[in-house]
């Protein structure tokens, strides 16, 4: 180093690493050699686990909005304490982890569940070998957890064990134990095979409708985007889904439905309707919104494109979708008013007779229920609707 006047050199390094390097190069005592160069040593104490966590939470708070109503605090506590925290031993670990997450979150924040993305990113950064093997095991990783009392589950358990062995081939026991705490929470089906007690890993019970509406990685229809960083070909952006289901006017909703249908993605949209409206305790859904969506769907149902059903072997036809959607939406309309709503929709000029036939059963059930509990149904309305004549016309 040059001996400039009034100049002080500050060197920042890991002493143990430098000492080993000097010992190898100088063929002598690396520590003694270092002491000749360093005149005033100053050692920074290692950051405590609390300090490391504080840095992590501060960075994450600047990236994501944890006040989101979909943020599951209990799930996050389990994912962080049992899964992510053991990997974060230095500030450098935190920076590597959050830099990777920030990049992925910027691309996927509207289409994935942030806690799942955090858990997966942890594997990507600290267990890249395990991470790279996950996309090949999609069928086994996704779906419902195993019912241990089911006698027909042994074959499935063997397939899960086979997938587990493939994921952890060449991985040390310590790393396997460490990483499976994350996998157990990301994928309930895999996690349930780790231990008889699911609570050991704070594993969520799998609900397909919830998983689809929130974009969990354990949902087969959402799995690929976590690795490809882009939406699946037939998927619909959550931003579009949320707008159509909860904000759009009747005209916007109808146009949106027909546009989605023309692009052969109507099945994906109908899946989203089922997923969002099957959660019966969702207080954000009111009667007016349920009526608007159901009316728009019924009015344009006969125009929807069903080509996807004939191209995909494992898919539902439109009539089957309708059979699921109608009761889910009617749930948000009080029973005494369900009849008046369907009667009004059935008598709209643009209502297609083929659609009326598909949902006729629900109207008959409602009429039977109303008469049973003593609520009168105007005979003039029954006569004008004349269910028997509708069937004869068809």
What is the Cα–Cα distance from 340 to 344, expressed in whole angstroms? 6
| Lowest-confidence segment of 123-132, 144-153, 161-170, 174-183 by average pLDDT | 144-153
pLDDT of residue 199: 47
What is the Cα–Cα distance from 49 to 47, expressed in whole angstroms? 7
Share of the chain above pLDDT 90, in %: 40
pLDDT of residue 377: 61
Q: Could you give the angle at which helices 287-300 and 353-372 cross, rounded to 10 degrees? A: 140
| Residue in 153, 78, 68, 156 with CA at minimum distance from that of residue 114 | 68
Helix (H, G, I), strand (E, B) or coil at 268: helix
Residue pair 56/89 in contact by the 8 Å Cβ criterion: no
Task: Answer yes or no: pTM beyond 0.85.
Answer: no
- Does 394 score more than 60 pLDDT? no
| Lowest-confidence segment of 166-180, 258-272, 344-358 by average pLDDT | 344-358
At 229-271, the pLDDT tens digits run: 888 888 999 899 999 999 999 999 999 999 999 998 999 999 9
**Rg (the chain; Cα; Å):** 29
Show the tokens assigned to 213. Answer: 């509406």
């Amino acid at each position: 180093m040059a001996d400039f006047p009034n100049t002080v050199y500050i060197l920042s390094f890991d002493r143990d690493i430098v000492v080993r390097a000097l010992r190898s190069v100088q063929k002598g005592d690396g520590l003694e050699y270092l002491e000749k160069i360093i005149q005033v040593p100053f050692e920074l104490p290692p950051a405590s686990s609390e300090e490391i966590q504080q840095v992590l939470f501060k960075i994450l708070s600047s990236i994501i909005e944890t006040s989101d109503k979909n943020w599951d605090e209990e799930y996050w506590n389990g994912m962080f304490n049992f899964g992510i925290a053991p990997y974060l031993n230095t500030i450098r670990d935190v920076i590597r982890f959050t830099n990777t997450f920030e990049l992925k979150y910027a691309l996927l924040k509207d289409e994935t569940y942030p806690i799942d993305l955090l858990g997966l990113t942890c594997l990507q950064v600290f267990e890249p070998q395990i991470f790279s093997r996950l996309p090949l095991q999609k069928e086994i990783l996704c779906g419902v957890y195993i019912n241990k009392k089911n006698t027909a589950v042994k074959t499935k358990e063997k397939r899960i064990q086979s997938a587990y062995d493939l994921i952890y081939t060449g991985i040390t026991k310590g790393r396997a134990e460490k990483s499976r705490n994350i996998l157990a929470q990301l994928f309930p089906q895999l996690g349930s095979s780790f231990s008889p007690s699911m609570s050991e890993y704070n594993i969520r019970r799998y609900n397909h409708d919830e998983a689809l509406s929130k974009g969990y990685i354990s949902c087969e229809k959402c799995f690929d985007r976590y690795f490809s960083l882009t939406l699946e070909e037939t998927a619909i952006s959550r931003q579009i889904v949320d707008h159509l289901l909860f904000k759009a006017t009747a005209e916007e909703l109808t146009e949106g439905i027909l546009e989605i249908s023309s692009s052969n993605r109507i099945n994906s949209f109908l899946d989203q309707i089922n997923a969002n409206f099957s959660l019966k305790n969702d207080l954000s859904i009111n009667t007016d919104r349920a009526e608007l969506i159901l009316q728009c769907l019924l009015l344009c149902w006969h125009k929807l494109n069903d080509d996807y059903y004939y191209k995909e072997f494992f898919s539902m036809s439109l009539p089957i979708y309708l059979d699921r959607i109608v009761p889910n939406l009617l749930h948000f309309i009080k029973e005494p008013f369900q009849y008046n709503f369907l009667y009004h929709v059935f008598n709209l000029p643009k209502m297609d007779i083929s659609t009326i036939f598909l949902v006729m059963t629900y109207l008959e059930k409602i009429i039977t229920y109303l008469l049973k509990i003593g609520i009168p149904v105007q005979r003039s309305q029954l006569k004008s609707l004349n269910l028997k004549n509708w069937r004869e016309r068809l």
